[in-house]
């Protein structure tokens, strides 16, 4: 019997590609290079800031300027522009509302640093009842290590085997499986180029938030 739901953030609950992409392109175009197109952002954002920068900047320029310095420039811009384009995926507010109405604990486990995660969630009312937030630097390890998920389950007071974890990246499913949780792949998210969620060995692949809502309602006894 399932008792709680944990979610990845970027590409699962929130479409952050617009703001993440704008930050990466701020650095990329500042070097006189062509901005990354939307289709590249859509399949790279879930891999994080390093991947976005490497997608748009040749190795020689990265070596010249330093990857960490470029990343700090990107994240500095992003911190100042967290919510210009970011929005929940269609159906997410209703899904979280259903969890709240039925007193089903839920939380977020992300590889986004807390300095970005916390202000982003604070700016969005739909996260007001989020039971736990675990960011990339909450612990000394991050996904695909299972520890962040186990920590979140402990904070919610729910055994890992009674949790469902939903994410749009292979590492999410690997972490969930290693933690002993039921895992669902968010097929609507930022699935990396060349990846097929059906090969991740998740319990299920949800092609839309609507499909996820139906699955959860069935799994939790369709409490309404």
Q: What is the DSSP string of 153-210?
A: HHHHT--GGGEEEEESSHHHHHHHHHTT-EEEEETTS-PPTT--GGGTT-SEEESSHH
Classify residue 57 as exposed, middle or buried by CB count within 10 Å of its CB (0-12, 13-18, 19+). Answer: buried
Report which of 172, 154, 156 is spatially closest to residue 4, judged by C-alpha positions: 156
User: Could you give the 3-state DSSP secondary structure of residue 121?
Assistant: helix
Measured CA distances, 50 to 21, 131, 139 (Å): 12, 29, 20
Residues marked as catalytic: 8
Measured CA distances, 156 to 112, 126, 163, 164 (Å): 20, 18, 10, 13
CB count in 10 Å sphere of residue 13: 29
Report which of 181, 219, 216 is spatially closest to residue 95, judged by C-alpha positions: 216
202 vs 207: CA distance, rounded Å: 13
DSSP code for 10:
B
């Amino acid at each position: 019997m399932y008792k709680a739901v944990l979610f990845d953030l970027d590409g699962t609950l929130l479409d952050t590609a617009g703001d993440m992409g704008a930050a990466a392109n701020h650095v990329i175009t500042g070097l006189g290079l062509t901005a990354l197109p939307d289709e590249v952002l859509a399949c790279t954002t879930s891999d994080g800031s390093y991947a976005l920068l490497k997608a748009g900047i040749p190795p020689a320029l990265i070596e010249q300027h330093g990857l960490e310095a470029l990343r700090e420039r990107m994240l500095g811009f992003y911190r100042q522009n967290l919510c210009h384009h970011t929005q929940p995926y269609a159906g997410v507010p209703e899904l979280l509302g259903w969890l709240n109405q039925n007193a089903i604990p839920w939380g977020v486990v992300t590889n986004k640093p807390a300095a970005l995660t916390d202000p982003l969630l604070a700016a969005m009312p739909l996260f007001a009842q989020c039971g736990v937030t675990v960011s990339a630097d909450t612990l000394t390890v991050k996904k695909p290590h299972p520890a962040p998920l186990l920590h979140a389950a402990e904070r919610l007071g729910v055994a890992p085997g009674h949790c469902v974890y939903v994410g749009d990246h292979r590492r999410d499913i690997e972490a969930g499986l290693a933690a002993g949780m039921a895992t669902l792949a968010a097929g609507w998210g930022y699935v990396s180029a060349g990846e097929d969620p059906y090969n991740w060995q998740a319990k299920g692949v949800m092609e839309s938030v609507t499909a996820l809502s139906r699955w959860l309602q069935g799994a939790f006894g369709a409490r309404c």
